[in-house]
Structure 1
């Protein structure tokens, strides 16, 4: 079963992370995880440019190193970037030292104050160390675009049905998400703009 919104217990465990930015201005926050890669990130940037929307890209350091021109395009077009570790690590499978070192390697490339843990998973020790240095950005709406068992129509529905003021929406610029993303992203942006939401950066 796909869980669009994180359970309260999960949010309590990482209580100083940012899960939603409540506001009176109908602001929402569009984010992308796992890129940049040539197969889909340029298409995402074209889509955002067409709809005049800014987003935050949580980048994997190894992809930044492999595709610096795409990373630079993200910056040149006024989007924000965040650290998503160098090798997309699951925090629970690595020691504190290994995890922090991997994130620092990514930080040398991204130079950002924002961090999102891959898979949303990190130990409490990792979290405690990281929140002293970064704004840890989690999510309010997980679209499920990466999941082959979720149809493109359902992916869109998850997004538009659950977005509210202050929502942090997660899509993915990775290969697994391409089909769902290309269908749902432009439709979701158009729908949410029509509903009066304003897309903001952190």
Structure 2
């Protein structure tokens, strides 16, 4: 994917012993507050790629994410899959979410975005940084175990890695048990957790 999308961000500085935790699809009740409490225990900061519709539904939880010092990213207003959406609708949906977040960070839902949409974003919203990842936890996959989720992260994380989790109901069974284990292991191995 990095070869196919050379202008997108897949990781940060490989020389710094830092990890960039990201959470997609919130804010939502129960799961996002759990993530915030868990991050606090490890003095970890993260970047939350929020769905605009969820911000409108849960403004208090969204405010809590910000007040606790985390960074916000744009994940479209309605979690649109770029491959299945015309460019004009896609950009308008990003802009609608941007009105709520004010963020220059954008992550395409499912990681699926057309090259023509990337070009349109760079032309119409040039300050936008499109952020992908180099480590996928797989927490959204209801067919995998918590241990597989943990292994996905710990075996693939290195300096500058951008790791994807989901603060969603679908992911919670795996996230609830894997996140503290992952945070403890990475902390014990000298990593710091930074925001994008």
TM-score band, normalised by shorter chain: over 0.9
- CA distance in 2: counterparts of 1:152 and 1:144, whole angstroms: 9
Once the two structures are TM-superposed, the CA of residue 168 in structure 1 deviates from its matched residue by 0.3
Two-structure CA RMSD over aligned residues (Å):
0.9
Equivalent position to 1:139, from 133, 144, 151: 133
1:68 aligns with 2:68: no
Q: What's the secondary structure of 1:157's corresponding residue?
A: helix
- CA distance in 1: counterparts of 2:37 and 2:116, whole angstroms: 39
Normalising to structure 2: TM-score of the pair? 0.96
* Runs of 4+ that moved beyond 6 A: none
1:192 aligns with 2:183: no
What do residues 107-155 of structure 1 show as CA deviations (whole Å, max 9, x unaligned)? 0001001000000001111111224331111001000000011100110
Instruction: Give unmatched runs, 5+ long, in structure 1.
Output: 1-9
How many residues are paired up?
A: 193
- CA distance in 2: counterparts of 1:186 and 1:128, whole angstroms: 38
| Correspondences of 1:41-60 after superposition (within 5 Å) | 41-60=32-51
Instruction: Give unmatched runs, 5+ long, in structure 2.
Output: none
Q: What's the secondary structure of 1:12's corresponding residue?
A: coil
The equivalent residue for 2:69 is 78
Once the two structures are TM-superposed, the CA of residue 78 in structure 1 deviates from its matched residue by 0.2
- CA distance in 1: counterparts of 2:87 and 2:131, whole angstroms: 19
- CA distance in 1: counterparts of 2:111 and 2:14, whole angstroms: 24
Equivalent position to 1:173, from 167, 172, 175: 167
The equivalent residue for 1:110 is 101
- CA distance in 2: counterparts of 1:130 and 1:190, whole angstroms: 37
Q: What's the secondary structure of 2:60's corresponding residue?
A: helix
Q: What's the secondary structure of 1:57's corresponding residue?
A: strand
Normalising to structure 1: TM-score of the pair? 0.93
- CA distance in 2: counterparts of 1:34 and 1:22, whole angstroms: 25
The equivalent residue for 1:121 is 112
The equivalent residue for 1:32 is 23
- CA distance in 2: counterparts of 1:12 and 1:133, whole angstroms: 22
The equivalent residue for 1:151 is 145
The equivalent residue for 1:3 is none
What do residues 41-78 of structure 1 show as CA deviations (whole Å, max 9, x unaligned)? 00100101111100000000000000011111000000
